[in-house]
Amino acid sequence: MQRILIVDGGQENLDDMTHQLTNFFDCDVQAFLNPLEALKWSKDNDFDLGLFEIRLSELSGLDLVRKLRRQRRHQGVPLILITSDENKAIIPDAFDAGISDYLCRPFDRAEFIARVQNSLSLRATTRQLEEDKRTLEQRVEQATKDFQSNEQRFRLALEATRDGIWDWNLETGEIFYSSNWCQMLGYEKEDVPTFPAFWMRRVHPDDSYILTTAIDNHIRGKSDVIDCEYRLKHRKGYDIWVHTQGKAVRNKKGTAISIVGAQSDISDFKEVQNQLAHSALHDTLTGLPNRSLFEERLKQAFLRFKRNEEDYFTVLFIDLDEFKEINDTYGHASGDKILVEVTKILKKCTREVDTVARFGGDEFVVLLEKVASKNEIQIYINRLYKEAKKTIHLTESDIKVHFSIGATTVDSNHFSHNDVMKEADIALYQAKEQGRNQAVFYVDDLREISPRRREMMASLGDALVNNEIEIYYQPIVCLKTQKHLGYEALLRWHHPTMGTISPEDFIPIAEKNDMIVRLGTFVMKGAIAQLALWQKKYNNPKMFMCINVTSAQVFRPDYFEILQSACGQEGVKPKQVILEFSEVGFSEIYKWDYSILSEMKQAGFHIALDDYGESRASIRSLVDYQMDYLKIDRSLSLELLNDERKRRLFDLMIHLGTKGGLKIIVEGIQTQKILNYVVKSKAQMGQGYLFSKPCPVLEIEGMRKKQA
């Protein structure tokens, strides 16, 4: 079992990382808030990976790395520094101090797992190589002793070992090669002459100096053993990587009279090592450079520009329009195919000197070297749009992709490469604001775009503290009696200057950071407390509450504990709480940790698939996802009366849901005609403006009073 050391000044961060690591790896996590305690622990304990926050009390993360590197036992351990965008200037110093990699917080969960997996794999491979080296050293030492005591018995031992053994008589110049040594290069023993030239001619020209220097230094007594890695030409023409160790036999005067050594084929290890190095800097799906590698290339391009302004460049930030809808409609496998096809388009339109990278999700970025004029950039963009017009063939359908593009060119006003990226990002945002499927070139005026969005981003963090966020409730009614059976909890933001803000505007902002988790916890506790009050007030213990939940919330290590605690404190039975997930949320949970849903259901909570039919409905989801409720999306309900195909789809969904034993809630019932149609189906419950819009608590209670 591998051991991971975490040092972070925040208990919540420690708990979150520990939960993610123990869920995905068979590992022992040692977590410390105090870096001095971690340092003391490390003096007597080994670990395979270290994760350190840069800002720590008493000792910085950087100083902790330096002290660990001074300890011999930890010199080869991968160390990852956790920092933030504002502290990235320290990264070059951090690499000098001895870090192996870094992560910027908040970091993507999948990226965090991938980085840790790569580091642990590299550590395991390195340890295996070290063990192999020790074994090889022991074999060489033993072989040398055997040779000195009994040459004939030693010769027999040479033939028995799996390594390629060689015995070089420095006085006669002859070399004995074992059968395994010869077969390693594709030869039979009788085909190999016993002189050094056969060996040396097959050493790769770039590695010849490495081998000859190692042998010469050992003969002269400058090293204890010969120990080096290099490439040898196989009989079939390709190169293999070998690791050679040898030790001289010396006479009484200390003069080397022979060298005995062993050679092993390490080509597989080298391939794994190269793959790990490639994976750390490239996107797994597309093979493109990832964010880390692109930022390094951008940084180097910026430094070249600062030295010589003729080395100008342009950055394009590219985003696929409506990619989420493609994923929801056709599935993630088809979404992945789209990303691969887009990669081909970008590479086809780009020169070899340029860099195309994937930042994650549906975001790509292009670095165009020696391109500065708007006309040149427009030519490149036109080629992209021309290629994008070609149909991409999926199993279910043929589609065309659309790009939104933000472009900017480096100039003397930029103080760092990050300034260039920020301008491209601003231009991309403006392209989306203007209707998508278009390119926008950055100008200084764009810094003032969308002041409303900027104000929301700035003030959302304080909205809960200032009591600006309020929970509204929308009734879910019995279709036959139209009595309130339960409610869905929804958020409204009463901003002091912008008025009431819909969740459609501020939830996407919250999803980009931990604010979505804070909002989710606020809704959960508030809605469960309100449900308890209403159950008592209206003497209705069967009344239920629907609460929207994201995968980001349930992946938090303390989410389930908080949920159970809220129900226990308010005296609400778990079965009266319905946790609503989107299909995307379900798929993410099933991909990473399906046990989360099983745990919820075992505790008695009910699960609902929300917005079913929002895009092209997945029938498989009704089978794969163990749910209790199915909520038909309002977009389908609103078109029932005008589209025969939508009516057939609606009827099919109801049929599949009821056959699967699910309770059906139809959203978007806004008119009496829609209600009349839905009532004829086998759906049991409805929700929509015909019954009530989402309302504050007092309005809901006033409504119930009128019904009574």
278 domain residue, yes or no: no
Secondary structure string (H, E, C) spanning 404-435:
EEEEEECCCCCCCHHHHHHHHHHHHHHHHHCC
276 domain residue, yes or no: no
Q: What is the CATH number of the domain that holds 564?
A: 3.20.20.450
Residue 142 and residue 53 in one domain: no
Please state, in angstroms and rounded to a whole number, the distance separating the CA atoms of residues 184 and 268. Answer: 13
Question: Where a domain ends, among 419, 449, 479?
Answer: 449
Closest CA relative to residue 116, chosen from 4, 271, 282: 4
Which amino acid is present at 195? F
Strands (E), 537-648: 544-548, 577-581, 606-612, 629-632
Residue 9 and residue 65 in one domain: yes
Strands (E), 278-414: 313-320, 355-360, 363-369, 392-393, 398-399, 403-409
- Say if residues 243 and 273 touch (Cβ distance below 8 Å): no
Residue 477 and residue 593 in one domain: yes
Question: Where a domain ends, among 91, 107, 123?
Answer: 107
Identify the bridge partners of residue 313 per DSSP, sorted by sequence position: 369
Residue 435 and residue 555 in one domain: no
Question: Where a domain ends, among 72, 107, 142?
Answer: 107
Residue 475 and residue 436 in one domain: no
- Residue 251: count other Cβ atoms within 10 Å of its Cβ: 10
Residue 544 and residue 636 in one domain: yes
Residue 294 and residue 265 in one domain: no
121 domain residue, yes or no: no
Per-residue pLDDT tens over the stretch 454-496: 677 778 888 888 899 999 999 999 999 999 999 999 999 998 8
Residue bearing tokens 């606020």: 522
118 domain residue, yes or no: no
Q: Which helix (H) or strand (E) holds 233?
A: strand 226-233
- Say if residues 88 and 99 touch (Cβ distance below 8 Å): no
The residues of the chain scoring below 70 in pLDDT are: 143-144, 146-162, 276-280, 395-396, 445-454, 512-514, 591-593, 613-625
Strands (E), 375-531: 392-393, 398-399, 403-409, 439-441, 469-478, 484-495, 499-501
619 domain residue, yes or no: yes
Q: Can you give the residue range of the structural domain that contains 9?
A: 2-107
Which amino acid is present at 390? K
- Per-residue pLDDT at 617: 45
- Per-residue pLDDT at 556: 79
Residue 352 and residue 392 in one domain: yes
Which amino acid is present at 47? F
Q: What is the CATH number of the domain that holds 319?
A: 3.30.70.270
- Say if residues 418 and 380 touch (Cβ distance below 8 Å): no
Q: What is the CATH number of the domain that holds 147?
A: 3.30.450.20
24 domain residue, yes or no: yes
Residue 474 and residue 548 in one domain: yes
Q: Which two tokens stand for residue 58?
A: 């008493």
**Residue 450 CA: distances (Å) to CA of 36, 322, 656:** 46, 20, 44
Per-residue pLDDT tens over the stretch 646-671: 888 888 888 888 888 899 999 989 89
Closest CA relative to residue 432, chosen from 339, 323, 351, 586: 323
Residue 398 and residue 528 in one domain: no
Residue 177 and residue 316 in one domain: no
Q: Which helix (H) or strand (E) holds 271?
A: helix 267-281
460 domain residue, yes or no: no
Identify the bridge partners of residue 82 per DSSP, sorted by sequence position: 53, 103
- Per-residue pLDDT at 551: 79
Q: Which helix (H) or strand (E) holds 694?
A: none
Identify the bridge partners of residue 390 per DSSP, sorted by sequence position: none
Please state, in angstroms and rounded to a whole number, the distance separating the CA atoms of residues 432 and 320. Answer: 10
- Say if residues 204 and 239 touch (Cβ distance below 8 Å): yes
- Per-residue pLDDT at 72: 84
Of the CA atoms within 13 Å of residue 165, those in its CB half-sphere come to 22
- Per-residue pLDDT at 616: 45
- Per-residue pLDDT at 75: 82
The total domain count for the chain is 4
Q: Which helix (H) or strand (E) holds 400?
A: none
Per-residue pLDDT tens over the stretch 46-63: 999 999 998 888 888 888
Please state, in angstroms and rounded to a whole number, the distance separating the CA atoms of residues 442 and 179. Answer: 67
- Per-residue pLDDT at 619: 60
Instruction: Look over the chain and give the mean of its residue pLDDT values, rounded to a whole number.
Output: 86
279 domain residue, yes or no: no
Contacts of 164 (CB under 8 A, 6+ apart): 177, 178, 180, 181, 182, 183, 184, 242, 262, 263, 264, 265
Q: Which two tokens stand for residue 535?
A: 């159950």
Q: Could you tell me what percent of the chain has a pLDDT over 70?
A: 92
Q: What is the CATH number of the domain that holds 25?
A: 3.40.50.2300
Strands (E), 70-173: 79-83, 101-104, 164-169
Residue 389 and residue 475 in one domain: no
Per-residue pLDDT tens over the stretch 369-412: 988 778 888 888 888 888 888 878 876 677 888 889 999 999 88
